[in-house]
Structure 1
């Protein structure tokens, strides 16, 4: 065969069949652009906690605490020739259970072959698991909880004859509370006892409130046995008639996307597979009587953490002050004579603080720099990065936005034990690792069906416990409405 003649014949045929090269001829390349990941991985709380490896294997890490009984001490005034009164001492044994956090992955050998030259399929599978692990760890460090929240009280209801379109009827209302772990992954407390509220006319509104549950970040509302919605405050106002069927979850950042299908009759706020995160170390009581770990608030010895609720109200200001932050700071200073070192808050509360303090009757505050750019290239807007703690003598407390903290909750955190003489505290918060984060790869294996293999399985996980050495130095503002 004469290959030159064949080539010429082929070219002649192409020339005869086409009139120039166009986009329709199929002469196109393959654009091997890079693989793009659009998964947000923002884990500031996880990244801020110091980690320490456990030296001994155990189900719990344990330590002892001397608690504040200053107000119970005897009068130190002593008569001559008499012995001084003994200083009282109160010691508690404290423990924190270890918990495992992890995500698995699988990648088949065929997938590795098909991705050859374009991407490392195994590495992508591991990285995806690692990203989800970091997000999950950040969430659990803030909101994991082993013990149950208290059952909410019976809602208090009211109605108005104007302002809405609620039909005249008698409405039966229940509410259940969610931990932050429930907020992210589902579950709640047992539902409260039932409240009953009658409305009249066809222009009514219906309101239900419940006493704030310390440690809860959200509340599920049920009317007539059907799930209606979830709020991040302890109040719900209906301006339209409650639905006669279960509703989808509302559009709240970070909330678990599967709605409850029935009024909860069993508690799922306690998760045996969790360890106690930051909110749990504040909301729980120290166990007594030989029990280990933390227990439901009201059933042990209080941790001393401060909880205050705005009950569905927004921040209010007075001059350059936010009244609710001042009240929280004052309560903490009265308790520990020190200031928190940072505020942990959701984006909603960060925006509210800046909006409130930078607004004025005539509009937003304007800052001009002393040059041309300050007049013809002005940067608008402002953000409050720190807030002055007046109760502690003018200490600035920085604001740290937490993407995995539910809206409506603010935590005043203390990262130092400086307020406690001889406290032996280097870090108030510490992540104790029984097993540090690792990529554990199983042997190549097989299973029946599509994706069965040969495949490579593995998981990214750690076994840890969060230690909070001084819950008394922390405070929580909950049920905050946006400004």
Structure 2
């Protein structure tokens, strides 16, 4: 066959199979450039879990200890005077037995045989499943250490106080009804405007059995109404609920109160038309603030009145705005200074770390860096002189100086925590000072583990690998008075 014949034959084939069209990448006749393994784009921020010591337990259903709260002298407790040749009266003790029940935390997952086989050459699906299981368990444990609530019930939220005033608002004229629900830290984390206030959830385990977890919300208040004319702003405030870090607001006509906002101050101001909302107040029927399956976290421990920790709610202030932190004029924040002074005056100790939200870090920086504090600031230049006028914009405070210590002062790190809510500052003395002689408290708080993290790989009953990561533990806080909490801080 000569060249001309071949060319003619190819042209006939092209015509028969429509191959005269150009082949491009849109035809998908290309390789698939898949990078392995998968990109895990989720944060695993667990500073408390990483920092608090983990101690092996000794079996049983709880870890137990006895606390000597104080030693009381005879006569007047602070007066040492004794007549010559006589003996003193006998001192007494204030003691308490404490028990912290072990609970189980964990998470499970499964990988089908097909998923394992399909993942060959991409990633070891069973190994990455185990890693993610551990990470999710750690994240849940961090939330529990910070804000777990076993014993501090919120009860029924008090009724809102309403008013209407002002001009220029666009809220339509009507008689509005307001219902309030208080939220623990768990409730604040679990609730949002899309899914609503968390009440209860029935969980079906991988074994087919069910159990109930409470979401962290109080029972709702009664309905309170207020007439509003066009141009007025509807303002609502509520009394603080001990243990709450946030409040959910249901607003509408009577019987049709829909969730409008979740605030970290006990007030709200509504000047614009209401949103359609996704949850009616009728969904809240009981107090779901505590979890019998959990333990008390640091925040709950500090908020319980019986524990004697410094716990202050900021003044309610202007509805919708609250009361912000205030500058001392000497490079510090009045409310934090008061907290540190109180910890020293009452217990002769100091917070060694402050945990804050990004909002409070910004507000603290604003209060500290004022014109009045300017003469107190120092700017260090690098010794090499390469950047003699180098400045860094948008700096924030990373340390807070506490003058109320026996040693003449202490620098306290200010740490961001992703789960500390806006409007809350947590101070914590991680180790008792030396003058708590013979205290037998190596750590103010410990995670006591009856059985630390362990992985269970279940027998094959289906064509999938089933696995779980668990831990049996409790947060033991030996000196709850070594904590401090300020809540309800307005943004500003």
Same fold (TM over 0.5): yes
Quote the offset at 1:76 in angstroms. 3.2
Match of 2:286 in 1: 266
Quote the offset at 1:214 in angstroms. 3.1
Secondary structure (helix, strand or coil) at the match of 1:64 reads: strand
Q: Which runs of 5+ in 1 are unaligned?
A: 1-8, 249-258, 285-296, 447-453
Maintained 8 Å contact 1:149/1:179: no
Secondary structure (helix, strand or coil) at the match of 1:90 reads: strand
Query: What are the residue-to-residue correspondences of 1:272-421 with 2, within 5 Å?
Result: 272-284=292-304, 302-310=306-314, 311=316, 312-319=322-329, 320-360=331-371, 369=381, 371-375=385-389, 378-392=391-405, 393-418=408-433, 419-421=435-437
Maintained 8 Å contact 1:104/1:458: yes
Quote the offset at 1:42 in angstroms. 1.0
User: In the aligned structure 2, how far is the partner of 1:241 from the partner of 1:21?
Assistant: 56
Instruction: Give the TM-score taking structure 2 as reference length.
Output: 0.80
Q: 1:306 to 1:203 in 2, by over 3 A?
A: same
Deviations 1:58-115 (A, max 9, x none): 2221111122476983643233344323323111111112121111000011111111
1:124 counterpart = 2:134? no
Maintained 8 Å contact 1:149/1:189: no
Maintained 8 Å contact 1:386/1:398: yes
Match of 1:179 in 2: 184
Secondary structure (helix, strand or coil) at the match of 1:220 reads: strand
Query: What are the residue-to-residue correspondences of 1:71-82 with 2, within 5 Å?
Result: 73=77, 75-82=79-86
User: In the aligned structure 2, how far is the partner of 1:160 from the partner of 1:417?
Assistant: 51
Maintained 8 Å contact 1:107/1:456: yes
1:31 counterpart = 2:51? no
User: In the aligned structure 2, how far is the partner of 1:19 from the partner of 1:166?
Assistant: 63
Maintained 8 Å contact 1:227/1:263: no
1:142 counterpart = 2:162? no
Maintained 8 Å contact 1:161/1:199: no
Quote the offset at 1:153 in angstroms. 3.2
Q: 1:366 to 1:306 in 2, by over 3 A?
A: closer
Deviations 1:146-189 (A, max 9, x none): 12423333333333233533444444333222111222233344
User: In the aligned structure 2, how far is the partner of 1:67 from the partner of 1:164?
Assistant: 55
CA RMSD of aligned residues (A): 3.1
Could you list the runs of 4 or more consecutive aligned residues of structure 1 that deviate by over 6 angstroms after TM superposition? 18-21, 69-72
1:222 counterpart = 2:262? no
Q: 1:25 to 1:340 in 2, by over 3 A?
A: closer
Q: Which runs of 5+ in 2 are unaligned?
A: 1-8, 191-197, 199-214, 317-321
User: In the aligned structure 2, how far is the partner of 1:323 from the partner of 1:25?
Assistant: 68
Maintained 8 Å contact 1:146/1:275: yes
Quote the offset at 1:235 in angstroms. 1.7
Match of 2:230 in 1: 202
User: In the aligned structure 2, how far is the partner of 1:384 from the partner of 1:74?
Assistant: 41
User: In the aligned structure 2, how far is the partner of 1:70 from the partner of 1:165?
Assistant: 63
Quote the offset at 1:140 in angstroms. 0.8
User: In the aligned structure 2, how far is the partner of 1:195 from the partner of 1:327?
Assistant: 37
